[in-house]
Structure 1
Amino acid sequence: MTMITRLEVEKEYADIDLPDLGYFYLVWDYVLKYYKTQNRKQDGFYKVVNMTEKVTGYFWPYKPEVSFSVPTDSSTPVPHLTRDRKASKQERQEYQDYVQDLGEKIGLLDPTTEGKNRRHTGRRGSKPIITGAEVKRPDLIIVNNYKIRWPGRGAVYPITNEYYEDNLKQLVEMKYGPDKLDLKQEQAYLKIATPERFAVLKIWQDEDDSNKKHIYEFSPDFVPVFGFSKDELLPKIRLEPWMTSPTGRPVDIFSGEIIDRKALESSYHPETVDLLIKHSPWLEQSGEFEQTDSGIRWVSQEDDRTVEFSNTELQQAAAYLEQYGDIPVDDLPYVTEQEVVMSGEGVLTLALKFVKDHKEEIALVVLATGAVIVTAIYFPAIMAAVAGAVLFLSRLARFAPALLATTGVLSAQAAEQFSGRRNCYQYEYLVKKPEGSDYEPHEYKILHHLPWEACKDNPDTSHLKGWDEKVEEFEKQNRK
């Protein structure tokens, strides 16, 4: 039976507006589906909301895990902003481009903030900016005016002595399952937000489909539209169809098997499929990677299609993943699944599932797939080639790590660890024989590739005659 996500505002604290509850329901329903452990659920909420912050250049009303310096006296707690008071030359240019291209849509009138309107810091180890203060990181801050990034009450920012107007609408602490609010948290959060703006939200799941309480609606077309008119959304982002179906499951675009367009369109929007095929022709064709004088290319075995990136382009893609996706390059070979969860105007949001040290984690990566500025302030200006390079890079790390090491992107140690795992398969016997018997090629069948982390447990195949030929045949039929 399908688990049903439920939210409830604790009555002894402030209430939460329905549009905000709709957004929280959307995010938590996703997180509870795909994040399995308790600590990953909270981390998952942060990542999903932070991803949307990044896509919108942090012009977004929901701000997860903002660090605050909470003084020991009665003075106002202050949020931690990014370090530099003055914007860099590149940052000013990116901001100017952002305002020029998109500013009219969201009503930005001041193109020269010179850093005062900078975002909150994402550093979890941020030190107090008020002497003697304690650092607290509430689950979520909602701001009154999303065009102003300041996520706090009216206060003087101690680093620059600049005064910021009150922009804090609400502080929401979220408690999943048995997690409870402790006294120290409550005292600090009441100081940050005041009692009138401090809310506590309980989250849980059950299987009682007759219970219609504690469920909140959201739009499957744009995520989210709450508090916005459609022409204000930057960019317009849609959940993929499989996300909004109660029984929906995604097509794994990282499986290594040929996937026809019809199968892709069973999970994804046609426009999403077009983008995937454009940048990843290996989804529908057989081919192979090979080294060139200056990089790596993928060559189709069915027609004249090729995809090629230089070593420099792949290094830039790796730097993007590390800086903006928090994915170390040497972790890329640990990716076991890849799906599209959201898409928009030239944007794909991918969910990458990692299995490392027997622990599962999902990371969200935003890719710009066309000449649009969707990440102009805190992402570099990403053109289609970089997005294609990220997809190419992750594919290469999974299926040809030794080749990737020649580009200087992946370490030789990581490449050696993961090379050869393509020969790890699940198979079945087609006939019954006594234990220890040999099997002829027609007496067993290769079913599918095992996840690489299971390769070390793959039983000895020396009793399977013609194994290499069977592998070659399987690869020819199913691999890119």
Structure 2
Amino acid sequence: MALSQAQEVPKGCTTTSIEGTVKEAPLPSPGDKLYLMEKAEYAIKFPRLSIRSSKSGAINSVELKQVVMSGLIRADEYRFDFSWYYKAEVSFDMRFLPPKPFLSSSGGVQDLDRRHSLTPFPKGFMAGELRRPDVTIVKDKSVRWPGQAGSDHQGAIHPDKLLRIVEVKFPGDVLHAKQRSDYIVIAGSSKKFSVLEVTDCRDKGEREKAREFNAQTKPTQAYDSRQWPVPLEQPRKAPAPVPVYGPKATPNPAYVEAWTFAHEAVESLREGGNSAINALSQEVRQYMDDASAWLTQQGKWIRQEAGKAWEWLSESTGEVLRWTDEQLREMWKQVQLYTDLTLEMLKEIDWVQVLADIGITVGTVVVIIAIGAGLVAAGVPAAIVSALVILVRLAQMFWGVFATVLGGGAVLTAASA
């Protein structure tokens, strides 16, 4: 006998949408929940992706809900030059009391208003002594420091700017006792620690509609949290806004386009060829001009030591693309500025995938980077995606000499792509 629609809705749901329940301490304001739920609603509708590893060729399933939500918040942080109320996955050093947030060193350690480090492996961290709460809400967006009153790792003193630590739990996630106690220490009090439980209350029919939508309309379509799936006839050029909520009204909300893949493995941009490029919207393809040829064609990479340059030669057309060492060093500076990646991390990157374009007007994308067994979500300018992909590819193929050029190692001369 078929289940009724009501029986298909998860236990405890009051609607057939996506709900959020705040537990532990209440959030500071109603606007905080609105902001976080907009991101959570979008993230929960991403299907579980099958990712093909570019190094081993193996296909692994990846749950992207938390990664995508963090990426969307990171994109807002970037848009406001990190002077923003919400910080995604700030890394805290638990060896200190109060725990110290790791700050970026990309702008120089003398800068007292540095943003938090964006890497999950900040310089100087110790295994077992690092915590990354999902969201940190601060009292004053004009001050980038995201911690309690105290000194940073360089000894500079900062005032208490931490308003709330928020852990977001999607269906199936568990808040462990040690995790909870550590987050309360980071927050400074149980009254400053909140849990946002996100429940997918859509019935079976609604979920099936979403799956069909993803299958029929990939790679892109406009997303509207009030209407899912988006009608197929909706114009591609009229994306619906995901509001940027906060204690104060914010103009120019971000726009989100979903690039979801329901039934196939997603290959990395540096390995996926035509399938990867075709999965990008026209706007981002324009930013990928520097990489699109070698991503979609067979060719050979060559190190020209005499000219201090790197060349790619197309096997089919004879086209030659060229980047000098100086150009690569400048590209690396830009990538570091927005990701806090180090040379060691660059070497370990397995794949890079663009998952969302946040706003045609602001030109920001969410990229997912696999570093070893970890996933990093970054909201970065679309203009640097090509640079990131090129750097990752060259690091994989010419690590020794490439590391020397960027500031580190030596070896190799030519390889086929």
Q: CA separation in 1, counterparts of 2:289 and 2:240?
A: 22
Q: Which residue of 1 aligns with 2:115?
A: 119
Q: Which residue of 2 aligns with 1:17?
A: 33
Q: CA separation in 1, counterparts of 2:145 and 2:393?
A: 39
Would you say 1:306 and 2:323 are equivalent positions? no
Question: How far 1:167 sits from its partner (Å)?
Answer: 4.3
Deviations 1:274-326 (A, max 9, x none): 22235432345554433433211223456675321113433554566567353
Structure with higher Rg: it is 1
Q: CA separation in 2, counterparts of 1:174 and 1:56?
A: 23
Q: Output the aligned Cα RMSD.
A: 5.3
Relative to structure 1, is the Cα distance of residues 353 and 207 closer, same or farther in structure 2, using a 3 angstrom cutoff?
farther
Q: Which residue of 2 aligns with 1:282?
A: 294
| Within-5 A mapping of 1:418-437 | none
Aligned 8 A contact 2:82 2:144 in 1? yes
| Within-5 A mapping of 1:93-172 | 115-120=111-116, 123=122, 138-152=133-147, 155=149, 159-160=155-156, 164=159, 167-172=161-166
Q: Which residue of 1 aligns with 2:244?
A: 225
Q: Which residue of 1 aligns with 2:13?
A: none
Q: CA separation in 1, counterparts of 2:163 and 2:347?
A: 39
Question: How far 1:229 sits from its partner (Å)?
Answer: 6.0
2:392 match: secondary structure: helix
Q: 1:26 aligns with which of 39, 42, 51?
A: 42
Q: CA separation in 2, counterparts of 1:253 and 1:29?
A: 22
Deviations 1:149-174 (A, max 9, x none): 23356x56695566x3x644432123
Q: CA separation in 2, counterparts of 1:26 and 1:350?
A: 15
Q: CA separation in 2, counterparts of 1:17 and 1:78?
A: 25
Q: So what's the TM-score if we normalise by structure 2?
A: 0.59
Q: Which residue of 2 aligns with 1:209?
A: 204
Aligned 8 A contact 2:85 2:140 in 1? yes
Relative to structure 1, is the Cα distance of residues 5 and 34 closer, same or farther in structure 2, using a 3 angstrom cutoff?
farther
1:280 match: secondary structure: helix
Aligned 8 A contact 1:79 1:120 in 2? no
Q: 1:393 aligns with which of 391, 394, 401?
A: 391
Question: How far 1:146 sits from its partner (Å)?
Answer: 2.2
Q: Which residue of 2 aligns with 1:101?
A: none
The one-letter amino acid paired with 2:115 is: R
Q: Which residue of 2 aligns with 1:65?
A: 90
Question: How far 1:197 sits from its partner (Å)?
Answer: 4.1
| Within-5 A mapping of 1:308-347 | 308-317=322-331, 324-326=339-341, 328=343, 332=347, 335-336=350-351, 338-342=353-357, 344=359, 345-347=362-364
Q: 2:284 aligns with which of 267, 272, 283?
A: 272
Q: Which residue of 1 aligns with 2:6?
A: none
The one-letter amino acid paired with 1:67 is: F
Deviations 1:191-241 (A, max 9, x none): 8365554311235669843589xxx938965566233767456xx5x4444
Aligned 8 A contact 2:133 2:166 in 1? yes
2:286 match: secondary structure: helix
1:308 match: secondary structure: strand
Question: How far 1:60 sits from its partner (Å)?
Answer: 2.4
User: Which is bigger in relative contact order (C-alpha 8 A, separation at least 6)?
Assistant: 2
The one-letter amino acid paired with 1:297 is: E
Q: Which residue of 1 aligns with 2:221?
A: none
Aligned 8 A contact 1:5 1:203 in 2? no
Q: CA separation in 1, counterparts of 2:186 and 2:140?
A: 21
Q: CA separation in 2, counterparts of 1:38 and 1:143?
A: 31
Q: CA separation in 1, counterparts of 2:317 and 2:143?
A: 52
Relative to structure 1, is the Cα distance of residues 83 and 318 closer, same or farther in structure 2, using a 3 angstrom cutoff?
closer
Tell me how many residue pairs correspond in the alignment. 346
Q: Which residue of 2 aligns with 1:179?
A: 174
Relative to structure 1, is the Cα distance of residues 224 and 297 closer, same or farther in structure 2, using a 3 angstrom cutoff?
farther
| Within-5 A mapping of 1:376-387 | none
Aligned 8 A contact 1:175 1:181 in 2? no
Aligned 8 A contact 1:405 1:412 in 2? yes
Aligned 8 A contact 2:101 2:116 in 1? yes
Deviations 1:55-97 (A, max 9, x none): 643222222235377998xxxx57547499xxx9x769xxxxx
Deviations 1:88-109 (A, max 9, x none): 9x769xxxxxxxxxxxxxxxxx
1:313 match: secondary structure: helix
| Within-5 A mapping of 1:408-427 | 408=404
Q: Identical aligned pairs, as a percentage? A: 18
The one-letter amino acid paired with 2:38 is: G
Q: Which residue of 2 aligns with 1:255?
A: 271
